[in-house]
Amino acid sequence: GWSDETLNDHFARQRASADTAGHELSLIWFNRMKDVLREVDKGTYCIEWTGPLQFLDLGRVPISCCPGGFTSYILNHHPRATGVGVSLEEAKGGHPYLLEHRLRSRFTLHSADILSFNLGTQSPDGEVDHPPIAEYKRHFGLVLVDGHYLRAQRAAHPDTPWDRHRVLISQLILALQTVKIGGTLIVKMSHPEAVPVAKLIRMLDLLSQTVRLWKPWSLHSTRGSFYVVAQGVGLGERGDRLQHYASQLKEVWQKLYSGGKQGRGRFMVDSDFDFVITNEDVVETYLHRLVKLATPVWRRQAVALQQWFIKHNITSYVLTP
């Protein structure tokens, strides 16, 4: 954590703002997310603008495409695009649906909560649903994953704090199941230096023809978050493992849902992703590649933090030549 309370307070306000946004603030987030995808697209050329495009938007809150900024950006600029999204209902804590009415005929919205989906390898005892997008296997040329676990939901489920990890794994399972061979995944992650994240990057690197890490200036530039842009999914060095990796992630999901000492779930650990690469091999065979991919992300965050420190007169963190 940060020792400077000013920075801690700033990040706390930022998180609260994102999680409890009213209509006016949701509209601001809606427009910012359009800017984010515009930046990612201009930096990586990740969206195919010629020919028809079918995309899946898994959005900003736990499998929530609302308020709809990513979808709006695509539909406004691609007249032949159609999309599908899954969103937590606003009454249950999701953001309002703000997609322009003139675009809604080209977008199908499903109301659901990712944490109610059965994505594991066993039939659970509790009330867990099948995802409404299960019918779209290998259907989408582009899948957008930008979800995070809301603090409000964390407060409502204090006994299962590992649900935030289950959200990420659930999104990845759905993404690997629904993306077309040769399609593109855009996945939000945080801290590429964290071992589980490094292993997931390696997974996408093996599956895809090209992988880039991109950090937008327009939102959270001071934070550890970034986007993995994987293109040509299923056509990479180990593209033949696409279904295998999805199945292995289901095993991880099961451990997060019903593992642990009391059988009520647990946090993910490094070894959960040894099916991709072990800790030792990350260091011995992948570290150079990881650093090459992540360096632009770290540099951009460092510049953004430097500017933020100067703006707020926090001189103890300012780098000097």
Pairwise CA distance, residues 223 & 229, whole Å: 18
- At 25 the pLDDT is 80
In a domain, 40, yes or no: yes
pLDDT higher for 162 or 287? 287
Question: In the predicted model, is pLDDT for residue 284 greater than 80?
Answer: yes
Per-residue confidence at 68, pLDDT binned at 50, 70, 90?
confident
Give 70-106 pLDDT, tens digit per residue. Answer: 999 999 999 999 999 887 777 666 667 789 999 999 9
Number of domains in the chain: 1
By mean pLDDT, which of 9-18, 154-163, 288-297 is the weakest? 9-18
- Per-residue pLDDT band for 113 (boundaries 50, 70, 90) equals confident
Structural domain range at position 275 = 21-317
What pLDDT, on the 0 to 100 scale, is given for residue 96? 73
For residue 46, what pLDDT band results from cuts at 50, 70 and 90? Answer: very high
Does some domain include residue 10?
Answer: no
- Asked if the structure places residue 12 within a domain, the reply is no
pTM metric for this prediction: 0.86
Could you give the maximum distance between any two Cα atoms of the chain, in Å? 60
- Which helix (H) or strand (E) covers residue 81, if one does? strand 81-87
The structure tokens listed for 9 are 């307070």
Using alpha carbons, list the distances in angstroms from residue 295 to 44, 92, 191, 210: 16, 38, 11, 17
Query: Does a structural domain hold residue 14?
Result: no
Q: Which amino acid is at 139?
A: H
In a domain, 8, yes or no: no
Residue 52 maps to a domain: yes
Q: What is the DSSP string of 30-76?
A: HHHHHHHHHHHHHHH--S--SS-EEEEE-BSBTTB--S-HHHHHHHH
Res. 153: pLDDT tops 60: no
CATH number, domain containing residue 77: 3.40.50.150
Q: Considering the domain boundaries, does residue 55 fall inside one?
A: yes
Highest mean pLDDT among 31-45, 86-100, 122-136: 31-45
Residue 76 to residue 68: CA distance in whole angstroms: 12
Give the Cα separation of 254 and 251 in Å (integer): 5
- Is 265 a member of any domain? yes
Distance CA(239)–CA(262), nearest Å, equals 37
Percent of the chain exceeding pLDDT 70 equals 79
